[in-house]
Amino acid sequence: MSLPKREVEELRPWVERTVKKVLGFSEPTVVTAALHCVGKGLDKRKTIDQLRPFLDDSAGGFVERLFEALEESRSTRGNKGSGEKNRKRELKIKQMMEAATKQIEERKKQLTAGGGSSIAPYQAASFMNDAIEKARKAAELQARIQSQLAMKPGILGVLGNTGPQNFVALANLHAMGIAPPKVEPKEVNKPTPLILDEKGRTVDASGKEVELTHRMPTLKANIRAVKREQFRQQLKEKPGDDLESTSYFDQRVPVPPAQRARRTFKFHDQGRFEKIAQRIRTKAQLERLQNEIAQAAKKTGIQASTKLALIAPKKEIGEGQVPNIEWWDSFILNSDTKFEALELFGVTSLVEHPAQMSPPVDTDKPVTLGVYLTKKEQKKLRRQTRREGQKELQEKVRLGLMPPPEPKVRISNLMRVLGTEAVQDPTKVEAHVRAQMAKRQKAHEEANAARKLTAEQRKEKKVKKLKEDLTNGVHIAVYRIRNLQNPSKKFKVEANANQLYLTGTVVLHKDVNIVVVEGGPKSQKKFKRLMMHRIKWEEHNSKRDDGDDDTKRNNKCWLIWEGTAKERSYGEIKFKQCPTESMAREHFKKHGTEHYWDLALSQSVLETTDD
C-alpha cells in the first residue's frame, strides 16, 4: 500500500539517522531510494532488491528496521485517532453495565412484590447469570485493550499511568469478583553509555577496556578501496622461510617487487641502425637477384622442373651422406634396396654420347627480306611507269602502227576542244560528248570486270591465304583450361579452329582440359588472341545450378607451350572426353604427343600445391 507524500516526508529524519548508523556516514542517495520504495508501497523483498546495490549485505537488516519504524508510525497515527473511540467505547460499556444493574434491580423488585408467583427462582438465577456474564466479557475486552496499549510506552503510557476510565473497568471487574489480567511492562533496550578513560579508550562500568565493533563499508567504492589496501599489504609481505620449504614453491619464479622499478634511459650502441640499414639493403638486393633468376628460369623452362622437385618427399639425411635410393626411384624400388645389388641390363660405366640429328626444318637457306618503298617513292615509281607507257603509245602513233586516239572531250572542256563546231550546233555536240563519255565509262567497267576474280577464285585465294605455306614447319600451341563445360565456349573454339584451317584435338578432363592446335603462324596468332583475350572464361552469373560454381568463377586459360614441328600430328579438330588420366595419356600417346599431357598435368599439380 503506497503512502502519501506527507507521511513519507515525516519518515525522512528517521531514515537519515538509520542510514548514518548503518553506513557510518550520511548518504542522500540511499535515503532517497528507501523513501521511494516506501512511497511506492513495495514489499520487503522488492525493497531489499532495490537497496542491495547501495548497501550490499546490510540491505536486509536496514529494510527490517525501516518496516518496523513504518508499522510504529502507522500504529501511532491510529492510536492518536482512536483515543476518542476508546472513550466512547468505555462510556458505552459503562452505560451497558448501568442498564444491566437497573434490569437486575427491577427483577428483584418484581420478585419481592409478586411473592415469587410470577417468576420462578430458577429463572431469576438464569437472568442474573446472563447479566453477569455480559458484564464480565465487556470488562475483559476493555482490560485487554488497555493491556495492549500499556505495552507500547509513549502512546498512552504504562498501566500505572492509566486514566480514570481504566479504573472504572478495574473496579467493575473487582466488583464482579474477576481478577484483572497481569500486565508485564516491556523492557526498553537503551544504548549502552559511552565511557572513556584518561587515555581516551572505551571502558565499561567496571573500568575494563572494551573493543568496539567496526562497521564494514557497504558501498562498492569503499569495498574496492579496502580490498585494494589489503592487496597492497599482501604485496609488501615477502614469502617466509616456511614457504620455501614447501614442495610446491618454485624458486625459479621471481617474486615481483612491491613497487615498479624506476625507468632509466637506454641508449643504443653506435652503428646499430647503420647495420640494420645495411642488412635491409642486402636483403633488397638479394630479392632483386632472385627475381631476375626466377624470370630467367621461367623463360628457359627450369621453373616447372624446380617446383616439381619440391613435391618430392623429404627425408632427414645428414650432411655428406648419400641416400641408398633417390626419391624418384622410390616409387619403383623398395626403400631398403641397395643400388649395388641391382643388375641393370645395358648400364655400364661408360658415357654414351647421343648421335647428332639434323633439325626437322632446313634452316641453311638464306633468308631474304622484302624491299618496302615509302609513299613518296611509290608515287614517283608510278609516274615513271605511266610516262614510259605514254611514250610507247606516242611512238606507235608516229610510226602509223595505230590510229591516233580521239580527243578526250568532257562537258567542262567542250568549247576549248571543239571550238566553232560547238557554236554551230551545240545540241549535237553535247550529245556526241556524252556518248563519248559513256563509251569511256563502259570500257573502264569492262576492264575492271575482266580483272575481277570469280567466286571460286576468291575462295581459293582466301583459303590459300589462310592455309599458308607449312614447308618450313608447323606451328603448334598447347592451351590448358580449368573448365570447358560451357557449350558456347566449345563452339567458339571449334568454329574458329575450322575457319582458320587449324588441326588438333581437345581433351576434356576434370581441371585439365587441353586444346592442341596446329597451323601457320598467322592462324596461330589469331587463335591465341581468341583464347587469351576474346573469350571470357569466368562465369560470374551462371544460370545453371551445379557443383562447379567455384571452378566456373575462377576459370582461366593458360598457354603452356608453343613451338614448331616438322609435320602435323592430328587431323580435323575433335573433342575427346577422358574420365581418367591414363585414358587421356593414352589418347595423346596414340598420336605421339604424350609429352603435351605430362606438361599440362604437372602444371596443374603445381597450381594445386600453390593454392
Query: Where are the domains positioned within the chain?
Result: 5-90, 399-450, 472-539+553-608
Query: Max alpha carbon distance in the chain (Å)?
Result: 209
- Does residue 135 carry a pLDDT above 90? no
**Nearest-angstrom CA–CA distance, 531 and 557:** 7
Q: Which amino acid is at 558?
A: W
- Read off φ and ψ for residue 371, nearest 5 degrees: -95, 125
Instruction: Measure Cα distances from 468 to 191, 289, 516, 549 in Å.
Output: 125, 43, 19, 41
SS3 601: helix
**Nearest-angstrom CA–CA distance, 441 and 430:** 16
3-state secondary structure 218-249: CCHHHHHHHHHHHHHHHHHCCCCHHHHHCCCC
User: Which residue pairs from 251-257 have beta carbons closer than 8 angstroms and sit at least 24 positions apart in sequence?
Assistant: none
Residues 6+ apart with CB under 8 A from 604: 480, 511, 512
Sign (positive or negative) of CA dihedral 588, 593, 596, 598: positive
Cα atoms in the Cβ-side hemisphere of radius 13 Å centred on 352: 5
CA angle, 101 as apex, 100 and 105 as ends, to 5°? 115
**Nearest-angstrom CA–CA distance, 11 and 261:** 56
Query: Does the domain at residues 5-90 carry the CATH identifier 3.30.365.10?
Result: no
**Nearest-angstrom CA–CA distance, 271 and 290:** 29
Contact between residue 180 and residue 170 where contact means Cβ atoms under 8 Å apart? yes
The DSSP result for 311-345, as a single string, is TSPP----TT---SS-TTTTTTS-TT--GGG---T
Instruction: Measure Cα distances from 25 to 9, 60, 181, 440 in Å.
Output: 20, 18, 46, 129
Residue 500 confidence (pLDDT): 92
Residue 333 confidence (pLDDT): 74
Residue 58: name the closest of 82, 84, 27 by CA.
27
Mean pLDDT of the region 358-383: 84
Residue 548 confidence (pLDDT): 61
- Does residue 595 carry a pLDDT above 90? yes
- Does residue 256 carry a pLDDT above 80? no
| Residue where the block lists cell 576459370 | 555
**Worst-scoring range by mean pLDDT, 157-166, 356-365, 413-422, 579-588?**
157-166
pTM over 0.75: no
List, for residues 394-417, the tens digit of each pLDDT value. Answer: 999 999 999 998 888 888 887 777
Q: Rg of the chain's alpha carbons, rounded to an integer?
A: 64
**Nearest-angstrom CA–CA distance, 580 and 2:** 88
**Residue 90 or 276, more confident:** 276
Residue 266 confidence (pLDDT): 86
**Nearest-angstrom CA–CA distance, 216 and 334:** 82
Residue 315 confidence (pLDDT): 54
**Nearest-angstrom CA–CA distance, 171 and 177:** 10
**Residue 326 or 522, more confident:** 522
Residue 150 confidence (pLDDT): 57
- Does residue 114 carry a pLDDT above 60? no
Topology, domain 472-539+553-608 = Alpha-Beta Plaits (3.30.70)
> What grid cell was written down for 359?
633439325
Mean pLDDT of the region 15-35: 72
CA angle, 410 as apex, 407 and 411 as ends, to 5°? 140
> What grid cell was written down for 379?
608515287
Highest-pLDDT range among 63-72, 140-149, 238-247: 63-72
- Does residue 226 carry a pLDDT above 50? yes
Mean pLDDT of the region 45-58: 73
Residue 491 confidence (pLDDT): 95
Residue 506 confidence (pLDDT): 96
Residue 1 confidence (pLDDT): 53
Average pLDDT, the chain: 77
**Nearest-angstrom CA–CA distance, 383 and 388:** 9
SS3 508: strand
Element (DSSP H or E) covering residue 160: none
Beta bridge partners of 572: 503
Residue 208 confidence (pLDDT): 77
Residue 549: name the closest of 602, 492, 604, 483 by CA.
483
Highest-pLDDT range among 32-36, 109-113, 181-185, 484-488: 484-488
**Worst-scoring range by mean pLDDT, 34-38, 219-223, 536-540, 562-566?**
34-38
List, for residues 460-473, the tens digit of each pLDDT value. Answer: 888 888 888 788 88
- Does residue 568 carry a pLDDT above 70? yes
Q: To the nearest whole percent, how much of the chain has pLDDT over 90? A: 27
Q: Quick one: pLDDT band at residue 158, thresholds 50, 70, 90?
A: very low
